[in-house]
A and B are shown apart, each in its own frame.
Chain A
Amino acid sequence: MPSIESVVEPLVSLRDVHLAFAGNPVLKGINLDVYPGQAVSIIGPSGSGKSTILRCITGLLQPQRGQIRVADTRVDALTREAQRIELRKRVGFVFQQYNLFPHLSVLQNLMIAPRKVLGRNRIDAEKDARALLAKVRMEHKADAYPGQLSGGQQQRVAIARALTMRPQLILFDEVTSALDPETVGEVLTVIRELTQEGMTCVLVTHEMRFAEEISDVVYFTENGVIVEHGSAEQIFEHPANERTREFLRHALGAPARRGPIVSDPYLLTNLSRYSLSV
């Protein structure tokens, strides 16, 4: 959507971000823009720094060089924990391993942050929590504990939990990679609906078909650099870079382009799309 880009400021922008762990460079000059309402996917081989990029955006990691901006906040310049807390109130994060709080029921998992962090009262927090559970179709499990739920159910609760903070932006870090194939779809459906509602999303994913379907922009990373970025069509249909082509050839599992998306999960062509999420 180039016409919008020229008018609207990006909600997130990274400029020449460098980060090393104990001298071992992991990000080597990342540039990335996310505009309000966009769904941006980051794809690339594992170890290429995708999670590290997300962690930098929410201030869990501090880059050694470069600029990170989220709305009006210069994330790289934050020095105090209180400032990072203000940032994280506006940025949701969903993890590969769900990371629900096992000692709290589903409903309590959704109420604890609004109550403790935002200081909302019990009645409002519960009303909100129940509405969000209904949104991810988990209202019937409000009183269950995370240990009693399937992976897909836990992940949907984790997405609802991130939404309770009413974030401007949600970061998804391989949220379907730990799931059984049969529950991947229900989580992707929830994310698809969020993007359709206009929620700004950054997704790290190995679900190539899904990324292609929902992304406004796709970034391909390798070895801590952005090799190529562009619209989903550009990256998936006409990748310019040989590295991208090779990665997609492996990731999509076939030299030729995929056929039409089939909804029968037992169809072999469809299985390959699930088996990617390791």
Chain B
Amino acid sequence: MAIESVCMALLQWSPALIAGFGQNILISLLAIGLGTVLGLLVGMLALSPWRLLRLPARLWVQVFRNAPWLVLIYFTTYVFPFEIHVGSAYIPFPDWVKVTIGLALPASANVAEILRGAVASIPGTQWEAARSLAFSRWQIAVSIIMPQCLKRMLAPWMNLYAVVTMGTALASLVGVHDVIDTAQIASNTVNLTGFTVLVYLSLLVLFFAYCYPISRLTQRLERRYAFY
């Protein structure tokens, strides 16, 4: 009887929960996208032979890799205005975008670090062979080193994406209407202990169902590129 009503309630709330999870996925995809673009840029600067480019990039990596993600999310939420004034137009700057940036910052630092590790894993003899074929430093980076790095970066990068996805659970703390927020509203509304347990259990299942295949694929890729 009680179990039945609890399950009915979950069924009723499930469209809202799934819509909320869609918000989490959207944030995670945009965060990893932005973080990857930023991270590759910062990572390349960090490998630059010029100190003026290298030092700020290294600082970026150290700061955002070592800061708690929640602090970064609070930081971006309160440091950015709620709308941006461009010419005569006001562009709203919603909280979920700020959270996306808050997640993209540590993601970028991690991508930069993954890039550094991949570049360091390419033997110096590859540079030397290309140099003796009259390649310039830039040509070596682009045509010889980067293509070999991309394969090696794929697995750790997907790992990072899974972590970013789980990080989106922090979004509800700054008022983003995501799956956690929806679950809270649902559990307050239904107000049954059994339902609360079930609703959070279903969140676990949702995140697991999304992240587990990614982690399995990562493992397979790691095995595939272990040699060579």
Contacts and interface: CB of A to CB of B under 8 A. Distances in A.
Interface of A: 58, 60, 81-82, 85-86, 88-89, 91-93, 95, 97, 99-103, 112-113, 116-117, 147, 161-162, 165
Contacts of B134: 85-86, 88-89, 113, 117, 165
B133 A81 contact: no
Contacts, number: 58
Contact of B148 (A58, A82, A86, A102): A102
B132 A88 contact: yes
B128 interface: yes
Interface of B: 125-126, 128-137, 139, 143-144, 147-148, 151, 227-228
Given A81-B137, A95-B125, A101 B131 contact: no
A112 B139 CA distance: 11
Given A81-B136, A97-B125, A99-B129, 16 more contacts: A85-B134, A88-B131, A88-B133, A89-B134, A92-B132, A93-B129, A99-B128, A101-B130, A101-B144, A101-B148, A102-B148, A112-B143, A113-B133, A113-B134, A116-B139, A117-B135
Nearest to B129: A99
A147 B144 CA distance: 16
B106 to A, nearest CB: 30
B136 A85 contact: yes
B143 A116 contact: yes
A80 B125 CA distance: 22
Contact of A101 (B126, B128, B132, B137): B126
5 contacts: A85-B135, A88-B134, A102-B148, A112-B143, A116-B143
Contacts of A81: 136-137
Contact of B132 (A60, A82, A97): A60
A103 B136 contact: no
A122 to B, nearest CB: 15
A22 B132 CA distance: 23
A9 to B, nearest CB: 23
Nearest to A115: B143
Residue among A91, A116, A165 having the largest count of chain B Cβ atoms under 10 Å: A116
A108 to B, nearest CB: 10
A92 B132 CA distance: 7
A60 B126 CA distance: 14
Contacts of A103: 147-148, 151
Contacts of A147: 227-228
Contacts of B126: 99, 101
A161 B133 CA distance: 9
A100 B228 CA distance: 12
B133 to A, nearest CB: 4
Nearest to A113: B133
Given A88-B134, A95-B128, A117 B148 contact: no
A165 B133 contact: yes
Contacts of A117: 133-135, 139
Contacts of B147: 103
Contact of A113 (B128, B135, B137): B135
- 8 shortest interchain CB distances as A-B pairs: A99-B129, A93-B132, A88-B134, A113-B133, A89-B134, A99-B125, A117-B134, A85-B134
Contacts of B148: 101-103
Contacts of A91: 132
Contacts of B135: 85, 113, 116-117
Nearest to B124: A99
B201 to A, nearest CB: 45
A142 to B, nearest CB: 19
Nearest to A54: B132
A230 B23 CA distance: 79
B76 to A, nearest CB: 38
Contacts of A165: 133-134
A117 B136 CA distance: 8
Contacts of B132: 58, 60, 88, 91-93
